[in-house]
Amino acid sequence: MRGVILSFLTMYMFIPWVLTRMLGLGVFHKGKTQREVAFTFDDGPDPRYTPTLLDILNKHNVKATFFVLGSKAEKYPEIIQRIHQEGHQIGIHNYYHHSNWLMTPWGVRQGQVNRSADTIEAITGTRPAYYRPPWGILSLGDFFLKKDFVLVLWSLMAWDWNSRVSSKRLRKKLSTITDGSIILLHDSGETLGADENAPELMLRALDEVLLDLNNRKFKCVRIDEMMENSKKPKKGERALGMSRFKQLLVASWMLWERCFVKLFHLMPVDTENPLLKLRIKAYTGNQSITLEDGEVIAKGDLIAELHFDNKLLLKLSNNSPSSVHLAIQIIRKTEQLMPLIRWLLQNDPNYKDVKGLYGITLIHRGARKLGFSIIDLPRGIFSYLTQSYLRLLLSVLHPQGKKRLKLKTERLVPKIIAISRKELMNRYIA
């Protein structure tokens, strides 16, 4: 059970944190245009500080991006209207300043993001399309917000929520602004961990910083403008393609794969054909599984849990001209391994009490021909998170990438595949 919880937390929290905060994947966190920066302000609107901030921005002819809380937008619609009318961009920072790690994916989408978007659209007539979660913390489910929202983080944090950071120190911190910087600041001191008077110090520093940036010929733009300008290649250069993005994503995933294998002691069935790895464990599902041959796997029964080797899947994917060809290769390689698994069950003392093989996968077409039963995953949070994780993995490994997620979506549902010890022993000869 401890392993299941650790695996869940890793998928739901740690992987998104590594991808977004350490590698900058899946989010916009820095521009690529010279002499261009973007100021962003979180946690507002605030009747004490936001109007003064707008006056300073107007004084320096600067346009900025405000990631606002829906609850505050609802409370101070006149400030939201002013932000919009003065040409600034409005993004979403949740309805309440709550961590996404402590909410379900649908709770974030419906109760926080969409609710805030509805509120802001009702006030301004324009629906926000940019989202920054509180503390920049994303969960695995938040990646599916990318369908409707651009996820935005930052490249420079001034720690301005702390009143012990004086205006002088803030100016020094902001003096490190470089080409493409996205600066994180706050126009409210009411959120958890912030000092109530901290924005006042930020405003004093900001006035001087904007003057300095103007003297240095920097242009301050909104996030949407920066993103658009970043798409344009510099003279004599090619625009950065998705290949680099995918390379970084794959590298981080393979790092996680190696850690997972070592952490849970997965063993390859065949080192020459490492497609499948096994882990002996007790079945922890709350519902028993009835297989097509009548055998039942109940909670507590010992099983050999199946795991695909994602490194080999990626290699097969890159060498496959089509998804059909990829599926055929996977089925053939799996079929070659089944007699070896039978041998393990018959001869390895570690497998003597194993009742069958069990796995959860999107790759279940053709599994029945190999003797596996294909069973629907019980509905619930585990099913949702598993589907989110596997769809994200499929978008990386499949030859068609993200396009595959839009094709035959009814098939992109994770299933339990399982085969009893009896069926495996009868069907395959070691």
Read off the pLDDT of residues 312-351 as tens digits, 9 standing for 90 and up. 877 787 777 776 777 788 889 999 999 999 999 999 999 9
The one-character DSSP state at 152 is B
Q: Examine the domain organization and report whether 44 and 193 are in the same domain.
A: yes
**Per-residue pLDDT reduced to its tens digit, 244-300:** 556 666 776 777 778 888 888 899 999 888 899 999 999 988 889 999 999 999 999
User: Could you tell me which residues come within 8 angstroms of residue 253 by beta carbon, excluding any fewer than 6 positions away?
Assistant: 310, 393, 396
* HSE value, Cβ hemisphere, 13 Å, CA-based, for 197: 5
Q: Examine the domain organization and report whether 171 and 259 are in the same domain.
A: no
pLDDT at 51 over 80: yes
Q: Examine the domain organization and report whether 268 and 139 are in the same domain.
A: no
Q: Examine the domain organization and report whether 313 and 375 are in the same domain.
A: yes
**Mean pLDDT score, 399-427:** 71
pLDDT at 136: 94
Q: Examine the domain organization and report whether 310 and 404 are in the same domain.
A: yes
Q: Among 207, 240, 273, which residue terminates a domain?
A: 240
pLDDT at 52 over 90: yes
Supply the pTM of this predicted model.
0.60
CA–CA separation, 254 and 248 (whole Å): 10
**Mean pLDDT score, 356-368:** 85
pLDDT at 90 over 90: yes
Q: Examine the domain organization and report whether 92 and 163 are in the same domain.
A: yes
pLDDT at 5: 62
**Per-residue pLDDT reduced to its tens digit, 110-149:** 999 999 999 999 999 999 999 999 999 998 888 889 889 9
Q: Examine the domain organization and report whether 166 and 268 are in the same domain.
A: no
Asked if 416 and 360 touch (Cβ cutoff 8 Å), the reply is: yes
Q: Examine the domain organization and report whether 289 and 224 are in the same domain.
A: no
- Residue 374 tokens read as 């294909």
Q: Examine the domain organization and report whether 134 and 37 are in the same domain.
A: yes
Instruction: Spell 60-78 as b/e; 16+ CB within 10 A means b.
Output: eebbbbbbbbbbbbbebbe
pLDDT at 65: 98
Q: Could you count the other beta carbons within 10 Å of the beta carbon of residue 252?
A: 17
Q: Among 188, 221, 240, which residue terminates a domain?
A: 240
**Can you give the CATH number for the domain in which 19 is found?**
3.20.20.370
Q: Examine the domain organization and report whether 197 and 260 are in the same domain.
A: no
Instruction: Spell 224-237 as b/e; 16+ CB within 10 A means b.
Output: bbbbebbeeeeeee
Q: Examine the domain organization and report whether 277 and 305 are in the same domain.
A: yes
The number of distinct structural domains making up the chain is 2
Q: Is 205 helix (H, G, I), strand (E, B) or coil?
A: helix
Q: Examine the domain organization and report whether 200 and 346 are in the same domain.
A: no
Residue 371 belongs to domain spanning:
243-427
**Per-residue pLDDT reduced to its tens digit, 218-238:** 999 999 999 999 876 554 443
